[in-house]
Amino acid sequence: MSEKSMTPQKQGKVDGAESKKADVLEEKSVEELQEYLEEFRTKLLDDGVLDEQFTQLQQLQDDSNQDFVKEVVDLFFEDSTKLLDQLSKEVKTEPIDYKQVDAHVHQFKGSSSSVGAHRVTEVCKSFRLCCDKEDAPGCKASLEKVKQEFALFKAKLGELLDIESKIIEKGGTLPMPE
Amino acid sequence: MPGPDSVYDPKGAPKLRNEDFRINVLHSYNILDTEPEARFDRLTALAARIFKAKASLVTLVDSERVFFKSNTGSFEGCGEVPRSTSFCPFVTLPTSKPCLVVLDASKDGRFHKNPLVCGEPHMRFYAGVPLETEGGFVLGSFCIVDFEPRESFSEEEQEMLVGLAKLAIQEIEKHNRAAELQRLQQKKFEEDKRGLLQAIDAFSEGLVLVDVSQKGQPIVFVNEGWEKITGYSANESRGQHCGSLLQGPLTSLETTHTITQACKEGRPASVEILNYRKDGTPFWNWLRIRPVEGSNFGLSEDTRNGQGRYYFGILSDCTRRKEKELELEAIRLRELEAEASVRAKRSFVANISHELRTPMNAILACSQLLTDMPSLTDDQRELSRMIQGSGQQLLRLINDILDFSKMDAGKMELRCAEFNLWGCLDYCVEMLAMRCESKGLDLSYNMDESVPDWIWADDVRLSQILTNLLSNAAKFTEEGGEIEVSVSAVRRSPRRTSSDGAGAPSSAGRNSAPENSAHLPEYEVTFAVRDTGIGIPAAFQEVLFDAFTQCDNSRTKKYEGTGLGLAISRDLAERMGGRMWVESEEGKGSTFYVSIFARGSMRESSGVALSPEQAVCRAATPVTGKRALLVGGRNTFQRMVGSMLRVWGLEVSVAASVEELHGLLGPAEKGRLQAPSNGRKFVRVDVGGSQGKPFDVVIVDCFDTVKRTKHGRKGAVDGGANGRTAPADLVALGCQLAERVPTFLLTSKDTKSLISQWADMENAVCLSRSIRINLLYATLLQRLAHQDPLSPLTTPRSLLDSIASDYAEGGDATSLEILVVEDNKVNQRVLNKVLKSLDYDKIRTAGNGREVLELLRQQPADVVLMDVQMPEMDGLTATTRIKADISDEDQPMVIALTADVGNDIEKECREAGMISYLSKPVQKSKLEKLLAKCGYYKQHRSERKMLKWIDAS
């Protein structure tokens, strides 16, 4: 991953913990980083932040298209931010147009499942159930949950990509997920 | 002046004739014995001053007394005097004068002996004006008194006194009207109150009146209903606080709060509250309260002078109703809970079974691969087979559970297709053959001639039922027993007419056969699976088909299984329009019957109507073109074997009699065949065949012959007159062929010894008459194609699978033109990438249903990957449009991509004309396989036309 592509990620969260983390990464050797990456990835899979769909995504990345994961994920972020904005507005309008909300949540669910954002997908599912029941408080609560999970996914994925780019930077290669 | 009436009478004034009436009138004025009143006192004071009199009075003449209503002057303090001593009664006597004037009483005959005149206070002067009512009755007098005699009392003075008297009588009249009014009101009020009280007490409901303006909100009134309901008497209740009397430990605080709040806000309220009686027993009280401003209806003494704020409460004991409600509520809750738990269990079971299946399939596939490895030692192969066997068993259990949960949730669907009944039956027997063999069970089957060879039904589910029955039979039959499957069929008149497409209710449950079977006759096909097992007690036969039952616990321990098999089988049978039942006798065995309704046909099995699968099979077999000779009775069994041999590509000749056999063998050989006589006699035979081409294989059906001999049925040995059973001599001749040609002798276990007299057992292969086509096939392969007999037997089914997949992979799939229709950019991107990674590079992308139509018109595609849920135009609609708008040659294969999975969506996709579906997110491996198949169909356009659906899961 290029230095350039990393920059916007870092700008967003310049707090102590983050820079400290970056320092920690800096200190590690390529081997350690690779090990750490594996560990981190496994943890994300175990926690359900990611699922095998993300693995598939990573496997699809090859020499011809080295930034594939990043591209798709960025596309996802861009898309999602718009969708979440729209959803926030829609949930506030009275009366709620549940069909519209459901359609947007469906879209969100579709794209999150494609990038393997497992937990986001799951909360989207329960969100849709709320739409089905026309349960306004449920929808509002679901949206908050979706936002939380989305933020979590974004943060964790940022971290993962950071580690990866650090490995590349240090001249290492990325271990291929199985 | 004093006349005859001027004589002194100690009784006083004489009484009038209507004196009693006058007294009544006086009494009716209710003025006697009332307190002095200012309005009269003002008049008398005025009169005393005007006439300078010692006293002035308003008097009322009663029967025995004279009452002073007003008394100003010297007599003050005196309320009345006896009538006899008073002057006033004289005023009441009729007279023409307006006023009675006595200037000097001591000189008046009427009064000179009057004690008030002779003695104190020595009255002398008296002037009195009658107080005459509007009705003309004189009630009393307005009079003045003096103790000195007067000279005169002038006319003017008299008139003035009369004027004052008039004012007095007016006051009296006024007083009377007010009193009358009040009296009437009081009377009415009393009556009302009495009525009200009676009504209130007659009321079965409790009534309570509470003064909420006072501290402690005391009860001011209760009725009898209250006493009955609460057990507190009126005295005990009055002054108490309602709540502290009635509320107890289990009274809902929320409800009491509701009441308090309503009282505070002056609102009415209606609640159901748990209250306690005096004896402590609880009861449900339907309490309705309502504010009553400023009035207590006179139900209690109004100590607040109309300032009280009252609440009226009505109590009803609704304990019974409430308890019933609570009971129902509890039941409903329990039901809901149970339902929820059942639902949870169902979905859990469905999910878990699904999850279990995936690794199980992997285990099975691996063990299959392992078993097929040529380098394996026999021990290793045996072990690997055991893994496979156990794995299959486990998978069956899992499938049972999955089926059951599907069935339970009403999600079981049948898929109708045309298939060969022999093949299906054989497949089922094959499944159980190994087990039966190892247990020494004789497994056989036969089919009536009436049974159609080909039927339209769900073959997978039908095999499931039969396999289940067979495995039960094998499970519950002890060593050496028999299991027999017989199939019979009866033609049924179609249950619906062709014009009545909706169908009768009976056909609703099963899968209706596709259009192209509509012309075929409908059959009721009955399968009977008979065993000689332990049998089923009569009592148990009824519950046998319920889920989770096995005969008893001890059996459960002995015989593994979920107990779901029969429940599932019966459900399936019913869905196929039939039913399932059992006949059994304990200790002797059971026969399970299954009937299904299906359309079918009796096509001659000449290989004309081979399905693509069978065609594949024939093309691939190494036995193609070999010649087979079938020796045996003309029965369904022979028909079956013959048909299968033809399916495999063999040329089949049939010999059902000695003559036919001779004919087939050619005249040269005829003479050399001899019927067996005593002892073993072998006759050499050149099996050349009439056309000079030798037979490659001979199959002799010895079964019925010997079996019937053994059972002592005469005639059987010589051949049944109907030709169904092979005559013994034919069998014997057939057996002799074994010397020259690979020969299969179809026997049963107990006939081997007999057969061995006739046949060279070295050369012949004895197969149980419970012949499994697949085993026959495998043996044929071994014998005719000289395959390694130790190599694993490949069943036609798995053979088919491998051939089919060979074909699929053979297609030039990567040349496929693919159109991705997906509104979600992320998904688009990912899908494109997946396709590229699979080396598909002719990819176009559309964002919605409209766009795809446009793109297809510009340039056709081979495959469309269609998102089902899209804005603008959804995938199903778009597919329907593609089917309608795009020309036949350019029709793409549309594959649905959907996040919703389940039978419904599959059905919808099929109906829309899609060929398969993939669940999202798309798995690369599945997509790969599916596209490979599409590649195959692209290459084989003719088959493409037949293509209805590819199961991608």
| B233-263 pLDDT, tens digit each | 988 888 888 888 888 888 888 888 888 888 8
Q: Are residues B353 and B312 part of one domain?
A: no
Q: Which residues of B touch A109 (CB under 8 A)?
A: 899
Q: Given a cut of 60, is residue B660 above it in pLDDT?
A: yes
Q: Render pLDDT for B547-596 as a digit per residue (tens, 0 to 9).
A: 665 544 444 444 555 567 888 888 889 888 899 999 988 888 899 999 99
Is B476 or B299 the better-scoring residue by pLDDT?
Answer: B476
Interface list for B 178-197 with A (CB within 8 A): none
CB burial readout B858-885, b (16+ within 10 A) else e: eeebbbbbbbbbbeebbbbebbbbbeee
Q: How confident is the model at residue B764 (pLDDT cuts 50, 70, 90)?
A: low
Q: Given a cut of 80, is residue B715 above it in pLDDT?
A: no
| Report for B23-27, B356-360, B414-418, B836-840: range of highest mean pLDDT | B23-27
The closest of B788, B848, B796, B783 to B819, measured between CA atoms, is B848
pLDDT at B589: 87
Helix (H) or strand (E) segment spanning residue B530? strand B522-531
Strand partners, B698: B629, B743
Q: Render pLDDT for B365-406 as a digit per residue (tens, 0 to 9).
A: 777 777 777 787 878 877 887 787 788 778 777 777 777 777
Question: Cα distance from A113 to chain B (closest Cα, Å)?
Answer: 6
A103/B871 Cβ within 8 A: yes
Q: Given a cut of 70, is residue B725 above it in pLDDT?
A: no
| Phi, psi (rounded to 5 degrees) for B282 | -80, 150
B664 near B629, Cβ under 8 Å?
yes
Q: Are residues B129 and B270 part of one domain?
A: no
Residue B13 inside a domain? The answer is no
* Final residue of a structural domain among B785, B815, B844: B785
Residue B80 inside a domain? The answer is yes
The neighbour count for residue B602, using CB atoms within 10 Å, is: 16
* Final residue of a structural domain among B284, B300, B317: B317
pLDDT at A87: 92
pLDDT at B671: 46
Q: Given a cut of 70, is residue A164 above it in pLDDT?
A: yes
Is A137 or B758 the better-scoring residue by pLDDT?
Answer: A137
Q: Render pLDDT for B268-300 as a digit per residue (tens, 0 to 9).
A: 888 989 899 999 888 999 999 988 766 666 666
Strand partners, B628: B652, B697
CATH of domain A10-169: 1.20.120.160
Q: Given a cut of 60, is residue B743 above it in pLDDT?
A: yes
Q: Could you tell me how many CB contacts below 8 A there are between chain A and chain B?
A: 54
How far, in Å, CA of A57 to CA of A55, rounded? 5
Is A117 or B830 the better-scoring residue by pLDDT?
Answer: A117
Q: Are residues B80 and B120 part of one domain?
A: yes
**Percent share of chain B, pLDDT over 70:** 74
Q: Which residues of A touch B829 (CB under 8 A)?
A: 71-72, 75
How far, in Å, CA of A71 to CA of B574, rounded? 55
Q: Render pLDDT for B666-697 as a digit per residue (tens, 0 to 9).
A: 554 444 454 444 333 333 344 444 455 677 78
B827/A114 Cβ within 8 A: yes
pLDDT at A17: 47
Stretch B126-152: mean pLDDT: 89
Using the Cβ of B871 and the Cβ atoms of chain A, whether some distance falls under 8 Å is answered with yes
Q: What is the mean pLDDT of chain A?
A: 81
Q: Given a cut of 80, is residue B506 above it in pLDDT?
A: no
Q: Given a cut of 90, is residue B857 above it in pLDDT?
A: no
Stretch B157-184: mean pLDDT: 84
Tokens read off for B132: 């005459």
Q: How confident is the model at residue B664 (pLDDT cuts 50, 70, 90)?
A: confident
Question: Cα distance from B340 to chain A (closest Cα, Å)?
Answer: 17
Q: How confident is the model at residue B1 (pLDDT cuts 50, 70, 90)?
A: very low
Q: Output the DSSP codes for chain A.
A: --HHHHHHHHHHT-SHHHHHHHHHHHHS-HHHHHHHHHHHHHHHHHHTSS-HHHHHHHHH-BTTBTTHHHHHHHHHHHHHHHHHHHHHHHHHSSS--HHHHHHHHHHHHHHHHHHT-HHHHHHHHHHHHHHHHT-HHHHHHHHHHHHHHHHHHHHHHHHHHHHHHHHHHTT--PPPP-
ipTM beyond cut 0.85: no
Q: Are residues B209 and B91 part of one domain?
A: no
A114/B920 Cβ within 8 A: yes
Q: Which residues of A touch B869 (CB under 8 A)?
A: 106
Q: How confident is the model at residue A120 (pLDDT cuts 50, 70, 90)?
A: very high
Q: Given a cut of 70, is residue B722 above it in pLDDT?
A: no
The neighbour count for residue B647, using CB atoms within 10 Å, is: 24
Q: Are residues B282 and B396 part of one domain?
A: no
If 0-12 CB within 10 Å is exposed, 13-18 middle and 19+ buried, where does residue B836 land?
Answer: middle
Stretch A90-100: mean pLDDT: 88
How far, in Å, CA of B510 to CA of B596, rounded? 10
Helix (H) or strand (E) segment spanning residue B322? helix B319-372
Q: Which residues of A touch B824 (CB under 8 A)?
A: 79, 107, 110-111, 114
* Final residue of a structural domain among B146, B181, B216: B181
| Nearest C-alpha in A relative to B829 | A72
Is A112 or B622 the better-scoring residue by pLDDT?
Answer: A112
Stretch B420-427: mean pLDDT: 75
pLDDT at B689: 47
pTM: 0.36
Strand partners, B699: B630, B744
A153-157, B412-416, B780-784, B912-916 — which is least confidently predicted? B780-784
Pairing mode, strands B125-132 and B417-420: unpaired
Tokens read off for A20: 């400290």
| Phi, psi (rounded to 5 degrees) for B770 | -75, 55
A72/B826 Cβ within 8 A: yes
Q: Given a cut of 60, is residue B156 above it in pLDDT?
A: yes
pLDDT at B920: 78
Q: Render pLDDT for B793-814 as a digit per residue (tens, 0 to 9).
A: 333 333 334 333 333 344 444 5
pLDDT at B774: 55
How far, in Å, CA of B101 to CA of B614, rounded? 153
Q: Render pLDDT for B199-223 as a digit per residue (tens, 0 to 9).
A: 777 777 888 888 888 888 888 888 8
pLDDT at B757: 64
Q: Given a cut of 90, is residue B527 above it in pLDDT?
A: yes
Q: Are residues B570 and B477 part of one domain?
A: yes
Q: Are residues B389 and B485 part of one domain?
A: no
Q: Which residues of A touch B830 (CB under 8 A)?
A: 57, 60, 72, 114-115
Q: Are residues B853 and B776 part of one domain?
A: no
The closest of B428, B431, B415, B418 to B466, measured between CA atoms, is B428
CATH number at residue B342: 1.10.287
CATH number at residue B468: 3.30.565.10
Residue B10 inside a domain? The answer is no
Stretch B895-907: mean pLDDT: 77
Q: Render pLDDT for B34-66 as a digit per residue (tens, 0 to 9).
A: 888 888 898 899 888 888 898 999 999 998 899
Pairing mode, strands B309-317 and B206-211: antiparallel
How far, in Å, CA of B374 to CA of B365, rounded? 16
How far, in Å, CA of A135 to CA of A144, rounded? 14
pLDDT at B496: 47
pLDDT at B307: 65
Q: How many domains does chain B have?
A: 6
Range of the domain at B859: 799-946
Tokens read off for B104: 């000097």
B528 near B486, Cβ under 8 Å?
yes
Residue B329 inside a domain? The answer is yes
> B880-885 — which CB contacts under 8 Å span 24+ positions?
B880/B912, B880/B913, B881/B849, B881/B853, B882/B852, B882/B853, B882/B856, B882/B913, B883/B912, B883/B913, B885/B853, B885/B857
pLDDT at B766: 66
Q: Given a cut of 90, is residue B415 above it in pLDDT?
A: no
**Percent share of chain B, pLDDT over 90:** 6
Q: Are residues B434 and B583 part of one domain?
A: yes
pLDDT at B91: 87
Q: Are residues B169 and B80 part of one domain?
A: yes
Stretch B817-842: mean pLDDT: 84
Q: How confident is the model at residue B141 (pLDDT cuts 50, 70, 90)?
A: very high
Residue B621 inside a domain? The answer is no
Q: Are residues B388 and B429 part of one domain?
A: no
Q: Are residues B470 and B592 part of one domain?
A: yes
Q: Render pLDDT for B435-446 as a digit per residue (tens, 0 to 9).
A: 777 787 877 777
Residue B439 inside a domain? The answer is yes
B211 near B309, Cβ under 8 Å?
yes
Using the Cβ of B354 and the Cβ atoms of chain A, whether some distance falls under 8 Å is answered with no
Is B641 or B832 the better-scoring residue by pLDDT?
Answer: B832
Q: Render pLDDT for B921-935 as a digit per residue (tens, 0 to 9).
A: 787 778 888 887 787
Stretch B742-757: mean pLDDT: 65
CATH number at residue B231: 3.30.450.20
